Structures are given as C-alpha cells and as structure tokens.
Structure 1
Amino acid sequence: MGVVHIILLKVKDSVTAEQSHDILKSVADLKNQLPDIIESVHLGLNFSARSKGFTHGFTMIFKDRAALEIYGKSPEHQKVVIEIIRPNVDDVLAFDYDAEDYSIPRL
C-alpha cells in the first residue's frame, strides 16, 4: 500500500501569511522535483483547536521505505528543510508508517 510520511509544523508567530504560503508551496513543489519518488502530497493549514500549537501540516505518500529514505537524503528535500522550514518554525513533528488498507474486510 505504501509509506505515509506526516509532518506537522509550529510556524513562528513572526511568519507572515506570504511566508506561510511559501512554506507550503515549497513542500508541494517537491512532488514536481521528485516525481519518481513522491507519489502524492496533501497539505494545508490547521483549523482544529486540538492541534497543540501545530499550524501547518502535510502528508506525503511513498511507494516504500526505500523511496522515503531517498527522499530524506535528496538535495531538493534538504534545501527546503534548511532554507525554508527550519528558519520559520518553532517545532516539527514527523510520523511515518507503513500504510495498510483496512477498508477491505479481513476474514
């Protein structure tokens, strides 16, 4: 089924709406830069009162753990992390898991 990579960001209070948009756009652009590695990207701004201060989130789907590892070491990903994400966030939460399809009844 694939590997799911979830990232939650606590963007600094000093970050403008334009900078906030640029953070999400830079993550979305990774799909175009690494089309053979990233299967899909979904992202957005939090609207839940239960977010514990996390303001932005994104989910990426990869074919397998090897693809996620390649992504993590890629220069494109490293550039986004170092130049765009780290300077603008107070905290990051990463959560990765092997996806299973439980919508099909198992006997």
Structure 2
Amino acid sequence: MILHCVFCQFDETVSRLVREDVLKALAAFSLGLEGVLAFDWGPNRDFEHKSQGYSDGFVIRFSDRTASERYADHPMHQQLGAQLCALCVGGGDGIVVFDLEIP
C-alpha cells in the first residue's frame, strides 16, 4: 500500500470555503479511480506545534504503486494540483508530499 500524504501551507487570504472546495474536488476525483482505497483530509490541528505553517492536508491510500502512478498521470489530478498550488504560499513550494510504502 502507498500512503500519499500532502501537507499544504495555504495563503492566509484563502478562505476556509475555498480550501475545502479544492480538497473536496480532489477527494471526489480520487475516490473514482481504480486502486484508491481511501481519501482523508482536513485542517491541521498541530497538537505538537511542529507543523511550520502547514494548515491543511490530505492522505490518499493507494492499493499499490500502479494506482499511485495512475492518479499522478491523470489530467484531472494535474488540473486540481495546479489549482491547489495556486492557493498555497509560494505555489508548489507551499506543499510538502510524502509517499510512504507500507508493507
């Protein structure tokens, strides 16, 4: 399984509604793809105060690397990813991605 973890540093001028709209669109798109097991998203609660301004995030659970690649190569992912980048501080620099391979 692949856990695709994405952490976003949204620009402070971006409303909660706009943030939620793009994340809901990513969830709806992702859950329609073969090999996507789950999509979880929400605001960062930063209980340990170590998030360095990353306010929101999401995790997609893929069955395998092929499903992850299918997602990454899909034109809708690229379109929604561009929208997400446009809302973050420094564009793509305001996003951190971790892909964890879980045995």
TM-score w.r.t. the length of structure 2 is: 0.86
Matched letter for residue 18 of structure 2: Q
Aligned to 1:46: 44
Q: Say which one has the larger Rg.
A: 1
The CA deviation at 1:43 is: 0.7
The CA deviation at 1:14 is: 1.0
Aligned residues: 97
The CA deviation at 1:27 is: 1.8
Q: Distance in 1 between matches of 2:38 and 2:78?
A: 18
The CA deviation at 1:4 is: 0.8
Which runs of no fewer than 5 residues in structure 1 stay unpaired?
Answer: 101-107
Q: Distance in 1 between matches of 2:11 and 2:67?
A: 30
Contact 1:43/1:58, CA 8 A, preserved across alignment: yes
In the alignment, is residue 6 of structure 1 matched against residue 5 of structure 2? yes
Aligned to 1:95: 98
Which runs of no fewer than 5 residues in structure 2 stay unpaired?
Answer: none
Root-mean-square deviation over aligned CA pairs: 1.3
Aligned to 2:62: 62
Contact 1:37/1:71, CA 8 A, preserved across alignment: no
> 3-state SS of the aligned residue for 1:59?
strand
Contact 2:35/2:62, CA 8 A, preserved across alignment: yes
TM-score w.r.t. the length of structure 1 is: 0.83
Contact 1:6/1:95, CA 8 A, preserved across alignment: yes
4+ aligned runs moved over 6 Å, structure 1? none
Matched letter for residue 16 of structure 2: A
Aligned to 1:76: 76
The CA deviation at 1:23 is: 2.1
Percent identity, aligned pairs only?
25
